[in-house]
Structure formats: C-alpha cells, structure tokens
Amino acid sequence: MLSGGLIPTFLKKRGLRLILFSGKGGAGKTTCAAATAIQYAQNCPQDFFLIASTDPAHSLMDSFAGNSLPQNLKLTEIDAQILLTDFKKKHNAKFRKIASRGTFLDDADINQFLDISLPGMDELMAFLEIIKWIEDGIYDCIIVDTAPTGHTLRLLEMPQLIRKWIDAMDSLLAKHRYMKKLFSGFYRKDEIDEFLLDFSASINRMETLLQDPVTCQFVPVMLAEELSIHETGELINQLSFLKIPVNEIIVNKLYPKNKCRVCAHWRKHQIETLQFHIQEFTDYSLWGIPLNKKEIRGTKVLETFWGDISEISKQPSDAGEPNLKTAPKSYRVEGSRCLPTPETKFMLFAGKGGVGKTTLASATAVRLACEFTEKKTFIFSTDPAHSLSVCFDKEVGSEPKELMPGLIALEIDAQSEFRTLKEQYSEELENFLKTISPNVDFVFDREVMSRIMDVSPPGLDEIMALTRAIEFITKNTYDYFILDSAPTGHLLRLLELPQFIEQWLKTFFNLFLKYKNVFKLPEIMKKLVQMSKDVKYLRELLIDPARSKLYVVTILTEMAFEETKDLVSACERMSIGIPSMLINMATPSDGCDLCNEINAREFKLLHKYFQTFTSIPPVMIYRNGEPRGLEQLQKLGDALYWKT
C-alpha cells in the first residue's frame, strides 16, 4: 500500500470517474488497472468501484487469480458481442420500421444489411455501457483495462464512424419525412427520430466524458523497449488529437541496479532506450515500476504493486552504469525447427500482445531470405499498431518495400484500404447517376445508395487488408508470405471473419443483381467479386496444413498460458494447423537471485505447457537483448532454424 509522498495523480486525484489503461500488449496494463482498482477500494472504503475489461482476450479475472475482492470493488469482463446482440434485439422493431419507410429498396433488402452490418459497434457498445454506469451513478469510479494500443485507438475513433452509420439510417427516413410533410403540411418527430437522436447524443456524451480532465484520465503503460515506446508515442499523439487527457505514463518492468551481469545488461539497455526517446515525453510525468521476481497475480501481490513506484528523471543518466554493448553476439534457442518447405505459402505468427510476434516473424523472414536467395519472402502486418518499421530499423510503409535482397515488407493500412473502396464506390455511383434521365427522381434513393458502404460489417477493412496480400499470393508474386498479426483477441475475430464477410458480399451482390436495371456499377462490382474470390481462397488456405502454418508465440506467464489455450482451441475449432509453439523471452538461470527466482517460476509453468499442449512441438527462446535491425534478426533467425 502507498502511504503518501510522491505518487502519480491518477492514484490520488479526487473526482475521477473514469481511469483507462492501455498500451502495447505485455506492458502490464491489466496489472496496472487491477492494482489501481485495489488501491482505490482500500483507500476509499465508503465508495464503490468497478474494474472492467474491454479487451476481447480478457485477462483481468486471471490477474486476480481467483482471490476475493474488497466488498466495495466489482469486476466485470465485458462481452461486447452480447451487448451488441442485446442492442439489436431491443431496437429490432425500430430498425425494421426504418427499413419500411420508403426508398426503392424493400424491407428484405435493408433488413439484410441491418442484420449483419452494425460497423464496429460491438466494441463501442462496451464503452457506451461504461458511460451509462457512470451517468447512472452506480459507481464512484470505473477503472478500465482496454485492448492493446492499435485497437484501442480504433475504438476511440469509432464515434466518427458511428455518426456516419446514424446518417445512413437518417437517409432511409428522409423520403418518409418529405412525403409526410408534402401531404400533411408538417412533420412531427416520432419514436424512430428520437431513437436516432438519443443514440447520437449518447455518442456525444461519451466523447465529452473522455475529454474531461476533471473526471477522466488515460494512463499509457509501456516498457523501456523500442517497440513499446514507438507504440506509446503513436497512442499519445492520437489521444492528444482526440483531446483525451494524458498526464502520466507508466514505464513497467525496469531492471534493478545490482552486480548481476544479466540485470546490468538489461538495465543499461533500458536506460539507453529511455534516454534516446526522453524528449518525446517532455510534457508528461514518467513513473517507473521495477521488475518483480514474482508474477503479479492475486489480490495480496496487487496491493503492493505501487509501493516501489518512483518518478523517472528526464536528465541524462549517471555515468556509473557498466559499459556493455547492447546488441548480443548470439541467441540461445532450444528445440530449433526446420525451415518451412517450399510448399508452404502462408505463415502466421500469433499470440498475446507483447510476446514477441513481430520479432519472431521478422527473424523468420530474414532467415528465409538468406537461405533461399532464389526465392522472395513477403512479410506484412495488419495490426493497427504496426511495428515492422521499428523491428527492422527501416521505414516500412503502405507499399511493398525491399529491405534486403529477397525480402519485401508491407504495413497495410486497413482503414485506408476501405476508404479507397468507399471513394471508388461513390465516384462510380455519381458518374452513373449523371447518365440517367434528369426526369427520374432519385433524390432520396441516391442518398441511400451513397451511404450503403457506411453500413458495412465490422472487420471488412481488416479483410480487405488481408485480401490485398492474397492478391500477391494468387499471382505468385512472392514465394513465402509471413503475417505479423494483431494480438490474440482481434486475430481470432479476423480468422473467423471470412465466412461473415462472404455473407455480406452475397447480400451486396443480391441487392445489385435485383436492381441491375436501376443501378449499374460494373467496376465496383468487379472489385467486390474479386474480393469474394480472395476471401474464399483465404478460407481454403488457412485450413490447408501443407500450405499454411500458424506459429503460436507465447511467454512463461500464467496470463499468456491462459490466452494460449484460447488461441490453440480456436485453431483446432477452425482446423488451422500449428506446427510449433515458440516460447519466447525465457529467463536464463545463470544470473542473480532475481534471475534465478524468475527462472524457477517459469520452469514450473513450462511443465504446465508441456502437459497441456502435448501435440505441439515447443521451441524455447531465451531472453537476450532486443533484436532490432537486419543483422540481429539474422542472428536470431539462424538460432531459430536449422541449416539446410
């Protein structure tokens, strides 16, 4: 427990109603959220608190390890899909009425789109529920463990998208309002209008609360590592743009100053990394949390989490640190694997955020490029928080770029791809409407058709990102394709999306076939037909064990273990093959008491992995520096795979 003194404002500021923690996966945002909730519950026994998770891959419950909570603290892991289903059921009649209020589209047409197309609202529903709890005064303060950085940013940008959805719904009502006013001389708002107005108002209230520094504070959590710092910088910039208050940043898992050479190596690396980026955070207070030899799980351990917090100086570090080279000479790997066969086309690296997916995917790509000089390897990222550029120490953009002979990289901007599709659709629709008779009244129907893309299903943008890579596969542009995926929760959603997207495309095609004499959009239809073929190809590719491999990446913590079980179960359910489990960042036992204690804890968990995943061959990768740049990635790749 904290007894006072110098502590972050979010732990002592009265009047806060909402505290949100986010950051790159593995940085410890769940732990920080849980420890903050315990802190408030014990310091303010007269108040009532909620700790909530909006991460699709929940680990909040596991953070408390089944321990009982203080009586004035409640825990909930929000199932956004259930909230969305309930929302649809509650307002189903209103949606049907909107569909019936007059365009050339009939009930069945609009209803089909409404059934599958509430874009991104599953995640938004979780936040709207939290805002409702705050407005109802049920809790004095709500502490939120959010999804990893990229998807948190998308969620915070969701109000703009939802406003477009509301505008699309409003367009469906425009003709009805016009006709009523034409024949009766006036139009009075009814329950449907009030529903859309109320929904819009709830979005506005959410934004207002998030932007209020008196009641809301957003706390980024990061590690003193390049990838984590890079992601945190992007998060802070976007939060600033959205006017969401940020005052402090947590830097977690800092190595202590002691005589251990392993600890000294990592400590120096962390100090150098922080000092290099310190100017990026001049407007914020940085607070450091030391690396704990115990895994932070359970109420008792969480109670002491903030006890060793200290403010990080932004002055140059003292010169008393050991003079060590940060880059290691080699990497220690046990259970190295054969390189993928020439028949393999598609490799996915998947796991909990912060376990090293990007690093291992990149090392594999470099290894393939070095081994098979006559072939081309293509590595791409669909994670909204891209980190390939940082990992390779080279700029990777939205167009394929050769990083070395035989290695091409791409960071796909899924939302940009979708914006381009919408622009193409709007342009072709506009050009077509110019060709029809000026005597045909399409004023309202034109508005409805122009907004059809605004009621596209969640995940269509991510599928478009994947299908862009599929285009390269089907054309045999490259030999090997490696996907650096989003963290587990969003990857699982992505893997399950192709069938859902196929349903939406089928609905879209049926609509335009039905009205082919009214609306002719050959180019956009051609593009969507190709997308449908790509989605089908992706589904077939994922379940072909000869051509597709999903490498599970994990670390030796209980939270990672639980998430790995979910990932493996989902892959088995979808018949996706797993050739290997890469157990990353294991702690060697030849260090100090801290290193040995962590190693002993990890060794116990390792047996749990072996007992649970008996059919998946493990590979152990020991912690040894942060591989960045082609040279270090090549060393790691050499250790990961046997020479042919």
**Residue of 480, 599, 637, 487 whose CA lies nearest to 554:** 487
Q: What is the mean pLDDT of residues 63-87?
A: 86
Edge-first strand listing for the sheet containing 548-554: 333-334, 618-622, 581-586, 548-554, 346-350, 480-484, 377-381, 407-411, 401-404
- pLDDT of 255 > 70? The answer is yes
How does residue 514 score in pLDDT terms, banded at 50, 70 and 90? Answer: low
pLDDT, the chain, mean:
80
Check residue 570 and give its pLDDT: 83
- pLDDT of 317 > 60? The answer is no
| Separation CA 489–CA 502 (nearest Å) | 21
Q: What is the mean pLDDT of residues 21-39?
A: 90
**Residue of 68, 106, 150 whose CA lies nearest to 388:** 150
Q: What is the mean pLDDT of residues 134-140?
A: 89
What sign does the CA torsion over 180, 184, 185, 189 have? negative
* Per-residue model confidence as pLDDT tens digits over 268-303: 888 888 888 888 898 999 999 998 888 888 999 999
In this structure, the dihedral spanned by the alpha carbons of residues 268, 269, 270 and 271, taken in order and rounded to 10 degrees, is 50
Rounded percentage of the chain residues whose pLDDT exceeds 90? 26
What are the two backbone dihedrals, phi and then psi, of residue 24, each rounded to the nearest 5 degrees? Answer: -60, 140
- pLDDT of 518 > 60? The answer is no
Higher pLDDT, 622 or 525: 622
> By the 8 A CB rule, do 354 and 30 touch?
no
Check residue 321 and give its pLDDT: 45
Q: What is the CATH number of domain 333-416+458-640?
A: 3.40.50.300
Range name among 186-200, 306-320, 516-530, 626-640 with the lowest pLDDT average: 516-530
| Separation CA 211–CA 227 (nearest Å) | 27
Check residue 606 and give its pLDDT: 92
Whether domain 9-85+117-311 has CATH 3.40.190.10: no
Find residue 334's DSSP bridge partners.
Answer: 620
| Separation CA 282–CA 135 (nearest Å) | 34
DSSP state of 64: T
Check residue 323 and give its pLDDT: 43
- pLDDT of 10 > 70? The answer is yes
**Across the chain, which distance is largest between two alpha carbons, in Å?**
87
| Separation CA 307–CA 311 (nearest Å) | 12
- pLDDT of 543 > 90? The answer is no
- pLDDT of 583 > 70? The answer is yes
In this structure, the dihedral spanned by the alpha carbons of residues 480, 481, 484 and 489, taken in order and rounded to 10 degrees, is -130
| Separation CA 93–CA 128 (nearest Å) | 21
Q: What is the mean pLDDT of residues 43-64?
A: 86
Give me 252's structure tokens.
């977690």
How does residue 204 score in pLDDT terms, banded at 50, 70 and 90? Answer: confident
| Separation CA 26–CA 456 (nearest Å) | 32
Instruction: Judge whether 9-85+117-311 and 333-416+458-640 match in fold.
Output: yes
Check residue 475 and give its pLDDT: 81
Q: Does residue 521 sit in helix, strand or coil?
A: coil
Check residue 144 and give its pLDDT: 93
Find residue 554's DSSP bridge partners.
Answer: 583
User: Where do the structural domains in the chain lie, given as residue ranges?
Assistant: 9-85+117-311, 333-416+458-640
Report, in angstroms and rounded to the nearest whole number, the Rg of the chain calculated over CA atoms. 26
- pLDDT of 148 > 50? The answer is yes
Q: Which of 96-110, 416-430, 592-606 has the highest mean pLDDT?
A: 592-606
Q: Does residue 418 sit in helix, strand or coil?
A: helix
Higher pLDDT, 604 or 109: 604
What sign does the CA torsion over 410, 412, 416, 421 have? positive
- pLDDT of 6 > 80? The answer is no
Higher pLDDT, 495 or 547: 547
* Per-residue model confidence as pLDDT tens digits over 95-131: 667 666 555 555 565 556 555 555 456 667 788 888 8
Q: Does residue 27 sit in helix, strand or coil?
A: coil
Q: Which of 71-75, 204-208, 393-397 has the highest mean pLDDT?
A: 71-75
What are the two backbone dihedrals, phi and then psi, of residue 185, each rounded to the nearest 5 degrees? Answer: 90, -10
Check residue 4 and give its pLDDT: 44
How does residue 320 score in pLDDT terms, banded at 50, 70 and 90? Answer: very low
Higher pLDDT, 378 or 148: 378
Range name among 45-59, 339-353, 354-368, 412-426 with the lowest pLDDT average: 412-426
Find residue 20's DSSP bridge partners.
Answer: 144, 218
Check residue 253 and give its pLDDT: 92
Higher pLDDT, 427 or 133: 133
DSSP state of 341: P
Give CA 401 to chain center in angstroms. Answer: 24
| Separation CA 157–CA 161 (nearest Å) | 7
